[in-house]
Chain A
């Protein structure tokens, strides 16, 4: 009998911290809780009818391909369709510039794996997406956080950070940016900021990782070009996914970028899961081909806009005047800032008692700050529940003020 099983495991595993946020999220499983915590799309956006029809087609006509092993870089048909889609959006790319991953989480992990050695520096937003931070932390990255303003990552602070590193002869491995409807803040980076940051990246020879899961869900305002398309010199790797515009259960995402880098990612992917399921890839490909994806995106945008509007209105109505929130023009999230002396992890327990949940803001700050902030998802619950949840949340906050 082994007495100390843990001692036989990898240092990396033993060092793995139980994610506080995961522990908190477990509390939200109670169905009577209105949860603004998850990053989940609304289930009524799932195209069940179209899907069953396409599955029928795929299984009767191309099961020999869909059920067989596939290439690590992904289904050529799906890649071709995505490349065409992106070319229409100003991307100067060909087939070799796009590979399929098992959704964005895998892309983030593989990016971490191929670039980061322990103690390498990377630059991230304050706040930034938790799944990204955790994927990079996993490879021992040292994170330098740059605050956001209304136009995205603060240019002057980023410039200073890069200058400072440069003066010490150091170079960050990459800058991690979610330019559209950022998770968690909901902020969209302005075109000027994108151009300025691209220029900095070039000057200091730093790669930009552009994580773009929400971009197609813009329901207001004017579209801003992606960092990739603004540059088109392969200074940028762009990550995309079907999770928010189709269905997260399908686990399909992609990476766009320089061929050499993609070759490395493919090699690393081969050692992780060999290939993304060819079955689901082929279904999504046929789904796009039939024009269903674009129709579905239009439908989602209308739904989410209504949900956001209802929520913003409820904030106006119920929240005390000291509370500030962002007004995203798309995506799934908005961000709440409470007065400095309040701690949203203390409030969380009370909120659960009042049957409403959110994600504690500190989870998104690599420097442990943001104690007075929280992320709110407006896409998952119904409009009615959005209003009711905001009411409950406002009551909890008032108790602490």
Chain B
């Protein structure tokens, strides 16, 4: 077995009740026996829980907020490279993907490799463009339309019926049961995220999720499907189980091909209760927070992604996963020395192991 000594930086160390995927990605890297490298956690707050997980990280750093722009991010990543000797970066948050994608060549020139989608793929995966995927064979999406003004709502309600889904362009969705509810939801999302607001035919059914990796040339390298067994009041999965529905994997493969997706992706599905048909309702350009389930089920997608970022090979396709593998998330209090918080607060850097590049 090839020994991997690289240093990998992973973003998304926030792990509250709406957790980022970073901690799960790092756990998956640690799970791989051939991985003997170092992991540097990146987050946006000195109190991000992942920084305090025992045995998880070799170091860490807080990042400038995405609103600071790509130049600030690039400068900080170069600094992290010089401090920790980072060889690869695995971004795990939607808000980071655009900047990292545009910086990919510059980062590579600095010795930081990535495996992320192109800006064009990212744009085509957004809610505002999701309906365009329906023109591809093997992909079904609910009728939907991005709208700029509230005047467009009554016509869409007539076309799609009630209830109707009203979605923010970046985050959130509301099931509107009346025109008044839909108008209220429209204004809520305009005030929160701006336009467009996406209006979608409501599909009544069960939600399924697939995490996958695309190779950037239209092929899918691996994929794991699951159903959430318990969700929080924020709609986040708190437990789930892998499922073996081949139609979920086939439609994910079609999405990866249509977008020529490179890197991690999560495809959210609804299986319509009456017809049993699957619909793609959302695409997330990253691993989900439940991604460690893929590793537990025998298909370590985060490690495969790290290998691909480093320019290594992975088996194609990846080993099949075990259907019926469960995860149950847990909240626990971590005890640690104040010095961790001190380091991150005072310097923005966290050194947990002695080894330096």
Do the two shown chains form a genuine complex with each other? no
Taking Cβ atoms with an 8 Å cutoff, the residues of B that contact A are none
Taking Cβ atoms with an 8 Å cutoff, the residues of A that contact B are none
